[in-house]
A and B are shown apart, each in its own frame.
Chain A
Amino acid sequence: MKDVKTPPSAEGRGDTVSRRSLLGAALAAVTLAPGITLYAGPAAAAADGAKRWGLLIDTTRCDSGCSACVTACGAEHGWSDAGRARPDQAPQWVRKVDVRDPATGRTASLPIMCQHCAKPPCVDVCPTGASFKRADGIVLVDRHICIGCRYCMMACPYKARSFVHEPVTGQRPGSPRGMGTVEACNLCVTRVDAGGRPVCVDACAGAGRSAILFGDLDDPGSAISRRIREVAPARIRDDLRLDTGVYYQGI
């Protein structure tokens, strides 16, 4: 069974919200027969175009031996469930990378996930428009129209996307997945829409590091914006001018 079962509203596009919310209101609880509900998901919240969600990762607090963010992400979205895929075929929504400067010997460890670019190459190259960016800057894959061509994986400078190589079991609500389609970090869009934070942020804090800060990059008064002004972090491959939404301090 490859079709995703989660209602599309879970990753609703900001630009179709009015239609969706209308549908949601009309169909919120149409019960066809006892136990069979036509549509029971909550009406999608509007992706707010006035916000730009992003992350600031303090690599000086990130430890090479810690992968709490990776583990939490896998559990939250169900991509780490063991299958028969080889390690190089296994999904990797977020990965820990160790970087060493051979000139100085300085090392840093950091998580790399979808960088939620303002100008995402994956969205540009996607033939069907399955790769898309919400109004609030979150870059997602619409699993209903992804044909599995993998061109977005060729175009992504960050190797942030994975192809689902085998049948999917144990899908999590809010994290639609399907064999033959491409997936990546969705910035825990369902949590964010419900007013929460991505699970990696909580996991990092839970591991006693608090290296990941989440917030609205477009709000000059937000904690993340203030910290970015203060510490002048870098962005990976900033030379490509993709205006990524993930910042790294200390690299």
Chain B
Amino acid sequence: MARTKTAFATLDSRSSRFVRIAGLLAAVAAAGGAAALYMEHEGHVVTGMNNQIVWGLPHVFAIFLIVAASGALNVASIASVFGRTVYKPLAPLSGLLAAALLAGGLAVLVLDLGRPDRLTVAMTHFNFRSIFAWNVLLYSGFFAIVGVYLWTMLDRRMNRWTSAAGTGAFVWRLVLTTGTGSIFGFLVARETYHSAVMAPLFIAMSLSFGTAAFTLVVSALYRIEGRPLGDAVLGRLARLQAIFVAAVLYFVVIQHLTVAYTARGGALEAYLLGGPYAPMFWFVQILAGTVAPLVLLLRPEFNRDRRNRLLAAGLVLLGGLAQVYVIVIGGQAWPLELFPGREVTSAAFDGTLGSYDPTPAEFLLGIGGVAVSLLIVAVACAALRFLPESLADAAVDPHHARADA
């Protein structure tokens, strides 16, 4: 087929624009590293975390990045597993972004440990009853399988294995996100989490966040050198994006209905929909992160403009970050119910909503992880030929070319 001739080229790492962007990302990553050192030296006493909100803003960023990572592999999966060749030129970048987002997320997760110096302990002591330990294996395996997948795509001699490797990576990523969701879903004692819906909810979130991240990253990369970028690929991705946003909304609604239906869930639902985290839920997650993108992506008067699609992708990521915040922080703030139906008080905050005020150090660590991910992508694209020279419509879509002719 003619289209297998797609020409790939590296980014010019000496261009002033590339240097500026990479320098900025490196600076933010370094600031995140400094914040981690500070937290490691002083202890978590300098964070907003406490014995009730034990996972704070760094976990929000880490989970957000890890969830987005598996979704960023979508484009490659669609090309290799479902045979949609129009996505094929972007499949290597999709694999790269997936691995980079996972690396950034894991960096934040590890640096927020109480003892990050004991990472080797986590790699050598496994309790196989722990879904956390399983995640360590799933994350490591993801790097390995995506690495092999990238190899089959970038090395012409290995091309015949691409479909098999892509299928393996696709299955693996579904299992991985199931594992991430189950970190919460398996928590029997916490009524804000204990639900089988957490796994499919996280899979839907990954599809949505990953697609949005990919859309923004590919647009940014093509802007750096002004390479041609048509609508054939991004237009299709925008339609997928709308479906994924709706899927996330579906699982969120199901989750709330399940809680609201039971008598004892009333107070919890009132808290979720009207408590201190409700403004973030309604205004950022639902309005900005769900309704607005759906309007921008589905209404014909908006969705033809590429800027609106990029805006929608940005809003999806903003809403996604808020959604993870509401799940992680809001879910922990709800007090454990030790004595159902009784009023409980203590000097140790029993029966009261947990409070959490994140500190700048936590934010820097989290945003540092984002910078690490983007820096990996930028450096890899300068070192290896991940990017097609042109993504003009005629180059990726023969039907489009014929229509033009």
> Residues of B within 8 Å of A, CB-based: how many?
50
- CB of B339 within 8 A of CB of A251, answer yes
- CB of A96 within 8 A of CB of B125, answer no
- CB of B188 within 8 A of CB of A145, answer no
- A156 vs B336: C-alpha distance when bound (angstroms): 9
- CB of B343 within 8 A of CB of A145, answer no
0/1 string, B336-354, CB within 8 A of A gives 1:
1011011111111110001
Asked if A92 meets B121 with Cβ closer than 8 Å, knowing A97-B344, A127-B126, A240-B189, the reply is no
Asked if A150 meets B114 with Cβ closer than 8 Å, knowing A125-B130, A127-B127, the reply is yes
0/1 string, A146-172, CB within 8 A of B gives 1:
111111011111110111111100000
- CB of B50 within 8 A of CB of A237, answer no
Partner pick for B343 among A89, A99, A163, A182, CB 8 A cutoff: A99
- CB of A181 within 8 A of CB of B114, answer yes
Minimum CB–CB distance from B342 to chain A (whole Å) comes to 5
Does A230 lie at the interface of the complex (its beta carbon under 8 Å from any beta carbon of B)? no
- CB of B339 within 8 A of CB of A164, answer no
Minimum CB–CB distance from B126 to chain A (whole Å) comes to 7
Partner pick for A92 among B51, B136, B344, CB 8 A cutoff: B51
Does B132 lie at the interface of the complex (its beta carbon under 8 Å from any beta carbon of A)? yes
Minimum CB–CB distance from A140 to chain B (whole Å) comes to 14
0/1 string, A84-116, CB within 8 A of B gives 1:
111111111001111111110000000010000
- CB of A98 within 8 A of CB of B346, answer yes
Residues of B near A156 (CB, < 8 A) are: 189
Does A215 lie at the interface of the complex (its beta carbon under 8 Å from any beta carbon of B)? no
Interface residues in B68-99 by Cβ distance below 8 A to A read: none
Does A83 lie at the interface of the complex (its beta carbon under 8 Å from any beta carbon of B)? yes
- A145 vs B121: C-alpha distance when bound (angstroms): 6
- CB of B45 within 8 A of CB of A157, answer no
- CB of B190 within 8 A of CB of A95, answer no
- CB of B126 within 8 A of CB of A163, answer no
Partner pick for B187 among A148, A154, A162, CB 8 A cutoff: A154
- A2 vs B116: C-alpha distance when bound (angstroms): 12
Does A121 lie at the interface of the complex (its beta carbon under 8 Å from any beta carbon of B)? yes
How many A-B contacts at CB < 8 Å in the complex? Answer: 178
- CB of B130 within 8 A of CB of A151, answer yes
- CB of A180 within 8 A of CB of B115, answer yes
- A87 vs B49: C-alpha distance when bound (angstroms): 12
- A240 vs B187: C-alpha distance when bound (angstroms): 11
Does A128 lie at the interface of the complex (its beta carbon under 8 Å from any beta carbon of B)? yes
- CB of B54 within 8 A of CB of A150, answer yes
Residues of A near B44 (CB, < 8 A) are: 89, 163, 165-166, 180
Does A179 lie at the interface of the complex (its beta carbon under 8 Å from any beta carbon of B)? yes
Does A129 lie at the interface of the complex (its beta carbon under 8 Å from any beta carbon of B)? yes
0/1 string, B101-129, CB within 8 A of A gives 1:
00000000000011110110110011101
- A79 vs B315: C-alpha distance when bound (angstroms): 45
- CB of A162 within 8 A of CB of B339, answer no
- CB of A129 within 8 A of CB of B125, answer yes
Residues of A near B113 (CB, < 8 A) are: 147-149, 180
Does A68 lie at the interface of the complex (its beta carbon under 8 Å from any beta carbon of B)? no
Does A124 lie at the interface of the complex (its beta carbon under 8 Å from any beta carbon of B)? yes
- 5 interchain pairs (CB within 8 A)? A126-B127, A127-B133, A146-B115, A163-B114, A180-B40
Chain A to chain B: the 7 pairs with minimum beta-carbon distance, closest first: A148-B114, A180-B114, A157-B189, A88-B50, A127-B132, A95-B348, A128-B125
A interface with B by C-beta (< 8 Å): 2, 83-92, 95-103, 112, 121, 123-130, 145-151, 153-159, 161-167, 179-182, 236-237, 240, 251
